[in-house]
Structure 1
Amino acid sequence: MKTRPLVVLAHGTRAPGALPVLEQVSAQVADLLPGVVVRHGFVEFQNPTAREAFSGLHDPVVVPFFLGGGYHVLHDLPGLLAEHGSGSATRHLGPEATIIKVVADRLRQAAAEAGTAVTSLDGVVLAGSGSFRRRPVRETEQAAALLARELGVPVRPAYLAKTSPTAREAVASWRREGARTIAVAPYLLAEGKFSRALHRSEASFVAAPIGAHPAVARVVAQRYREAVGSEIGIECARGRVSLAPVAAG
């Protein structure tokens, strides 16, 4: 049986100077999956586009390079697959304990650079991208609970768009309660407009986004292995489109 190709699909950013995280993670994934064709693409703003990434591929496995199951995962990706005529979409990447450990590591690095320790923090704000849908908001709340368990300090979720509180509001709330040392941990895969906005939150310091960490590549590779091992098929007029089951948002 022919090995199915893999496409890792991210949102994309217009922020100048953003690091090529998706490209780097995709290269790491290719090393983890020898013999598998691995491509990457973006839903908007950057190239290659999703259509370019799909071009010439039959029955690709698409791993959404998203932490939450928001609009792009639930609407755009199925539409792109239906247009292509074959393929399957796996579950997105979060909330995953493996990735939360990376968030914790980024925070520890930032704390060390600020001359402090995570255990001395009064609080942490975990800043996700935000959504009008309840499901990705709930997933950010779950990620905050996982991070609190990992760090041993209080963690509250916040959002960069569409949902309250914002990171700035969450930091201000901690301050009103008497907290002095507050850090912001981006629950974001890559640098961009959202991550840069966090530096206006008035936190004591802001950690780096998750970035091209080997743990992220391992999660992507695992999603692929799960998909090729167990699929739910839906016949489409131009070929087979199989979509992973999605919980109601």
Structure 2
Amino acid sequence: MTTVLVAHGTRNPRGVALIGDLAAAMSARLHEPVHAAFVDVLGPSPTEVLRRLDDEHAESGAAPVAVVPAFLARGYHVRVDLPAHVDAAGHPAAALTPALGPSPDLAAVLALRLRAAGAQEDDAIVLAAAGSSDPLAVADVDRTAGHLGEILGADVTVGFAAPPADGSAHPGVTEAVRAARGRGRRVAVASYLLAPGLFQQRLAQTDAEVVAAPLGLHPRVVGLACDRVRAVRARVDIPA
């Protein structure tokens, strides 16, 4: 099986490099090719990668392809944009997996990143996500906040790096940090982002005492992405 790992896309070279590194780490674990694609900002797009893979196997028949969204919630790109890319490619054996999040594995990595950044037991915790007005995406972030709260034994509030303009969901991360500090405690921000970039910079610009690093290439993140591929393989009965 071949895999296409699909991320949003960013102009930040470190963010682009991380997606390539994640694809390489998945490939090493799965012992099969993993290609990177992006739905916005830069290419190649998922449609382009899937068409190329279809062309490469035109004579021998289309090889199964797992399309893994490197997203942390079920927002527009996961539910609408990415399926449209798969349909447009016309690849006869492409299977779209669920997004990476929400997952208890990601919450465990969030807790580890917080502790590594210096978070203390009595800190107020703000989970900082990219942001969305999509109710399913908001619900997924809330589930992650719940998972993290269970691990830490603490209440976790949510702030968005790019909150909806209509105020329909969670506040911006700066406002969330201020609200948490209003309770008279230090504030630690858990970065529910996959890679460094503009949104991580916004977290660093808050006045929180602790800002954790993004999820990045933690082994549990790599393992979760590989599990998405293995689930597709089992569903279509492809031998390991």
Shorter chain as normaliser: what TM range? 0.7 to 0.9
Deviation of 1:19 after TM superposition, in Å, equals 6.1
Q: Is the 8 A contact 2:10 2:16 kept in 1?
A: no
Q: Is the 8 A contact 1:63 1:224 kept in 2?
A: yes
Residue number in structure 1 paired with 2:140: 139
Q: Which amino acid aligns with 2:114?
A: L
Q: Which amino acid aligns with 1:53?
A: V
1:40 to 36, 46, 49: 36
Residue number in structure 2 paired with 1:235: none
Q: Which amino acid aligns with 2:112?
A: D
Q: Is the 8 A contact 1:125 1:170 kept in 2?
A: yes
Residue 178 of structure 2 corresponds to residue 172 of structure 1: yes
Residue number in structure 2 paired with 1:120: 122
Q: Which amino acid aligns with 1:106?
A: R
Deviation of 1:49 after TM superposition, in Å, equals 3.1
Matches within 5 A, 1:15-164: 15=12, 17-18=14-15, 20-34=17-31, 36-54=32-50, 55-57=52-54, 58=62, 59-86=64-91, 87-111=94-118, 117-121=119-123, 123-161=124-162, 162=164, 163-164=169-170
2:212 to 172, 195, 207: 207
Deviation of 1:17 after TM superposition, in Å, equals 4.5
2:151 alignment partner, SS class? helix
CA RMSD of aligned residues (A): 1.6
Deviation of 1:80 after TM superposition, in Å, equals 0.6
Residue number in structure 2 paired with 1:6: 3
2:230 to 225, 228, 237: 225
Q: Which amino acid aligns with 1:42?
A: F
Counterparts in 2 of 1:38 and 1:17: CA distance versus 1, 3 Å: closer
Runs of 4+ in 1 over 6 A off after TM superposition: none
Q: Which amino acid aligns with 1:139?
A: D
Deviation of 1:29 after TM superposition, in Å, equals 0.8
Residue number in structure 2 paired with 1:196: 201
Deviation of 1:52 after TM superposition, in Å, equals 3.7
Counterparts in 2 of 1:90 and 1:18: CA distance versus 1, 3 Å: closer
**TM-score, with structure 1 as normaliser:** 0.83
1:12 alignment partner, SS class? coil
2:99 alignment partner, SS class? coil
Residue number in structure 1 paired with 2:57: none
Count matched residues.
220
2:6 alignment partner, SS class? strand
Structure 2, unpaired ranges of 5+? 55-61
Q: How many percent identity over aligned positions?
A: 35
Deviation of 1:16 after TM superposition, in Å, equals 5.0
1:97-153 C-alpha deviation (Å, 9 max, x unpaired): 111111111111111xxxxx52131x1100111111111111111111111111223
1:135-184 C-alpha deviation (Å, 9 max, x unpaired): 111111111111111122321111122233111111111222222x1011
Q: Is the 8 A contact 1:25 1:214 kept in 2?
A: no
